[in-house]
Amino acid sequence: MRHAYYLTIFFLGIVQFAFSQNLDINDGFYREALGKELEYYIDPSAGLSVDSIRLMGSKFNQVESPRPNFGFVDGAIWLKTRIHNQTPKNEFYLHINQPVLDSIEVYCFDEEGEITCRSTLGEAHPFYERDVTDRYFVLPIKVETSVDTELLVRIRSKEPIEVPIYLATPNGSRTLTQQADLLLSAYFGLILVMAFYNLFIYFSVRDASYLYYVIYIFFVGLTQAALEGYTFMYFWPNSPWLASRSVYILTSLVSISSVIFLNDFLKTRVFTPTLHKVSYGVIGLFVIIIISALFSVEKAVHTSTQVSIAIVSVFIFLTAVKVYRKGYSPAKFFLFAWLVLLVGIIIFSLKDAGIVAATPFTHYTMQFGSAIEVILLSFALADRINILKREKAQSQAEALKVSKENERIVKEQNIVLEEKVKERTTDLQESNSQLNITLNELKDTQSQLVDAEKMASLGQLTAGIAHEINNPINFVSANVTPLRYDVEDLFKLVDMYDEISSSDQFDIKKEEIEAYKQEIDLDFTKEEISQLLEGIQEGASRTAEIVKGLKNFSRIDEGSIKPIDINEGIKSTLLLLKNEIPSDIKVEENYGELTPVECMGGKVNQVIMNLISNALYALKSVDAVREKILSIDTQESNGNVYLRISDTGTGMSQEVRSHIFEPFFTTKEVGEGTGLGLSISFNIIETHKGQITVESEEGVGSTFTIVLPIKSELKD
């Protein structure tokens, strides 16, 4: 800020004059800086009125400096001078070129003590209330010819009060403003150029240091703009609250961004890890200042800011020195740039303290120092690029050297590898031959196991069929013997009729025939023959039905793709397994209307038999107390046929479910299964581009779901 970086602030002893000096306006007057022409009086209570002040003429002290500097003033300070106009011009401008003063009251009195002008200015008032649109406090006043005009200025501010005051003609006023604006325009132009230049480099190289540097430059420029009144004039003219706090906030942001840039640019995390940790505490100081400034702008905030700025200045300087001693080349540019800024700060502080004369040069040392710093830091960043280029070149050279060495090693290794490859190739060929033999043996073994599984299923099926066919065959066999006896009786009765050769023998034979009819009970024999034939026919029909079911199940043409009724296949399977279904197992069949599925019927029936057989095995293992239900459901949806086979059997654990489709995995006792049934079923369904899934809960039961596409993608 404007009074930043005070090293010491003290007041020089001032010499008391018995009489005040007046400002004479003669021909050729252009502008004049009011210094020794002023007298001052400090009102500690800030409660005296202008009339009371006019009565204290003898208590005013003479100003000795051409740029009055009073430091911190707890109350109000009054400035007084007399202007004697000896020219015909009466229009002049009063300039107070200190834009960060809180309140300024200006009074003009003629020789009779009448007020000729009165204005109230300062950061505490909106910008639009000013009579002249200027970043400084500019007030038009009238000084009549050959009349002594008394000028009184009352100033209050929570910051140090330094008041460069000018009286100028209209032309002199414009020149004064233009000269100051021209110099600062060059400064801000430099700031903008460096900001955009480094921002462009950031987008090219994507180095975070450039981005942090741009942010730092931005806040430096914005802080100087606030100190010179530009931000109040252009950015927040209607916010005195923000205008009075912006300098503290922006100064803190400059310090924070400078520390962040320092850490990244000088790699403090690597070179000075301890100071890197301390930097977070330094940033914390300025965060506290920002928060404090939002609530108050008292003297304590200003003092804290000055102390913190001194701390961060020393911290940055020491960090740069330490990093430079570690041999990091870019640190020398950073150190030199920071020294230039420190020199500017020291000169500016000495000027404010009155040790160094107040001149335009000393007034703008902060801007000059920061401008040189900005340029030198840009050089430092450029040097960093050169270092990166050198490091990259060295890295590439080293990589090339390593590459050549690797190439030599690779060539040597290739020779060794070729010999080893030949040896390994011979070994692999021998191993391959052995593996082919082993593979063929495994295939034969697998085929035998699959055949064994099929034979096991066939044996189970054969036993069931034999039992089913045995019943009707026994029924037929039991009826044949009595039928033969009845037929023989009928044949004998017919023979008796054939023995009648004449009418004389008819009566005799008739009696014998009637007696024989009574003996064989002809009516009963007829009825018995009819019943026996019906029994034989029933047995033959049942046998034919079993044979038909076996034919439907086996599907002699199983190798070809044909439209198959899945419901018919299920019914045939249940018929063949009828002997395996105990009386305590309830079978629930729910068949939907299905479109014939294009598949290999015999293989699909084999899957159905495996699933139903497993379900029956699970149900037989259940306690007799629980209800045993085998449920079979079919339905059609979205071009697929869904078959669900559920049981209320023992169920399966999660671990068992994860292995049931693996070959040779079984939960049955030794000798009861090969562990291939579900594996074969899985492969059959997968071959048909279908799906088979299982849901099971231990102790509750299992549900297998088969999904088969109606239109097969298989080819005959």
CATH number (domain holding residue 36): 2.60.40.2380
pLDDT value, residue 634 = 93
Please write the tens of the pLDDT for every residue from 202-261: 887 787 888 888 888 888 888 888 888 888 888 888 888 888 888 889 989 988 988 898
| 715 found inside a domain | no
Among the ranges given (227-231, 664-668, 669-673), the one the predictor scored with the smallest mean pLDDT: 669-673
| Sign of the four-CA dihedral 521, 523, 527, 532 | positive
* Stretch 312-338: mean pLDDT: 81
In this predicted structure, the answer to whether residue 195 has a pLDDT above a threshold of 90 is no
Amino acid at the residue 183: L
| 379 found inside a domain | no
Q: Are 453 and 536 part of one and the same domain?
A: yes
Cα 282 to Cα 231: distance, rounded to the nearest angstrom: 27
For every residue of 573-619, which 3-state class applies, written as one string? HHHHCHHHCCCCEEEEEECCCCCCEEECHHHHHHHHHHHHHHHHHHH
**Who wins on pLDDT, 259 or 313?**
259
| 192 found inside a domain | yes
The structure tokens listed for 557 are 């043409």
* Stretch 571-589: mean pLDDT: 81
Q: Are 472 and 451 part of one and the same domain?
A: yes
pLDDT value, residue 440 = 67
Name the percent of the chain lying above pLDDT 70: 76
Q: Are 489 and 628 part of one and the same domain?
A: no
Q: Are 561 and 683 part of one and the same domain?
A: yes
Q: Are 543 and 489 part of one and the same domain?
A: yes
* Stretch 114-129: mean pLDDT: 87
Q: Are 144 and 190 part of one and the same domain?
A: no
Mean pLDDT estimate for the chain: 77
Please write the tens of the pLDDT for every residue from 52-97: 888 887 788 888 877 788 877 888 999 998 988 888 888 899 988 8
Q: Are 98 and 190 part of one and the same domain?
A: no
**DSSP-assigned beta bridge partners for residue 703:** 646, 695
In this predicted structure, the answer to whether residue 120 has a pLDDT above a threshold of 80 is yes
Amino acid at the residue 98: Q
- Residue 441 sits in which domain range? 436-553
pLDDT value, residue 553 = 52
Cα 461 to Cα 452: distance, rounded to the nearest angstrom: 14
| H or E stretch at 680 | helix 677-687
* Stretch 99-112: mean pLDDT: 88
pLDDT value, residue 152 = 92
Give the DSSP per-residue string, 268-336: HHHH-HHHHHHHHHHHHHHHHHHHHHHH--SHHHHHHHHHHHHHHHHHHHHHHHHHHHTT-THHHHHHH
**Residues with Cβ < 8 Å from 284, sequence gap 6 or more?**
none
| 67 found inside a domain | yes
The arrangement of strands across the sheet holding 640-647 comes to 585-590, 628-637, 640-647, 701-709, 691-697
3-class SS of residue 399: helix
Choosing from 279, 300, 328, the residue where a domain stops is 328
Phi, then psi, of 117 in degrees rounded to 5: -155, 150
* Stretch 565-572: mean pLDDT: 85
Query: Would you place residue 633 in the very low, low, confident or very high pLDDT band (cuts 50, 70, 90)?
Result: very high
Residue that has been written with the tokens 């500016």 in this structure:
348
| 12 found inside a domain | no
* Stretch 572-577: mean pLDDT: 77
Query: Would you place residue 9 in the very low, low, confident or very high pLDDT band (cuts 50, 70, 90)?
Result: very low
Please write the tens of the pLDDT for every residue from 527-564: 777 766 766 666 666 666 666 555 555 544 455 788 88
Cα 349 to Cα 358: distance, rounded to the nearest angstrom: 11
In this predicted structure, the answer to whether residue 622 has a pLDDT above a threshold of 50 is yes
Please write the tens of the pLDDT for every residue from 345-382: 667 666 555 566 656 666 666 667 677 777 777 776 66
Q: Are 526 and 587 part of one and the same domain?
A: no
Selection from 20-34, 270-284, 287-301 with the highest mean pLDDT: 270-284
For every residue of 512-565, which 3-state class applies, written as one string? HHHHHHHHHCHHHHHHHHHHHHHHHHHHHHHHHHHHHHHHHHHCCCCCCCEEEC
Please write the tens of the pLDDT for every residue from 175-194: 888 887 887 788 788 788 88
Selection from 265-279, 329-343, 450-464 with the highest mean pLDDT: 265-279
Phi, then psi, of 568 in degrees rounded to 5: -65, -40
Name the percent of the chain lying above pLDDT 90: 6
Q: Are 156 and 195 part of one and the same domain?
A: no
pLDDT value, residue 362 = 64
CATH of the domain at 573: 3.30.565.10
Q: Are 539 and 566 part of one and the same domain?
A: no
Choosing from 553, 569, 597, the residue where a domain stops is 553
pLDDT value, residue 351 = 58
Task: Answer for the pair 40, 65: CB distance below 8 angstroms, yes or no.
Answer: no
Choosing from 506, 529, 553, the residue where a domain stops is 553
| 378 found inside a domain | no
* Stretch 404-416: mean pLDDT: 78
Which has the closest alpha carbon to 63: 33, 36, 96, 24? 36
pLDDT value, residue 155 = 92
| 640 found inside a domain | yes
Cα 20 to Cα 628: distance, rounded to the nearest angstrom: 124
Q: Are 531 and 575 part of one and the same domain?
A: no
The structure tokens listed for 156 are 């209050």
How many distinct structural domains can be found in the chain? 4
Query: Would you place residue 105 in the very low, low, confident or very high pLDDT band (cuts 50, 70, 90)?
Result: very high
Selection from 187-191, 205-209, 497-501, 641-645 with the highest mean pLDDT: 641-645
Amino acid at the residue 488: E
CB atoms within 10 A of CB 396: 11
| 368 found inside a domain | no
Q: Are 102 and 200 part of one and the same domain?
A: no
Please write the tens of the pLDDT for every residue from 697-710: 888 888 999 999 98
pLDDT value, residue 482 = 73
Please write the tens of the pLDDT for every residue from 416-467: 777 777 777 777 777 777 777 776 666 555 555 555 555 555 555 555 555 5
pLDDT value, residue 162 = 81
3-class SS of residue 644: strand
Number of H helices, E strands in the chain: 17, 20
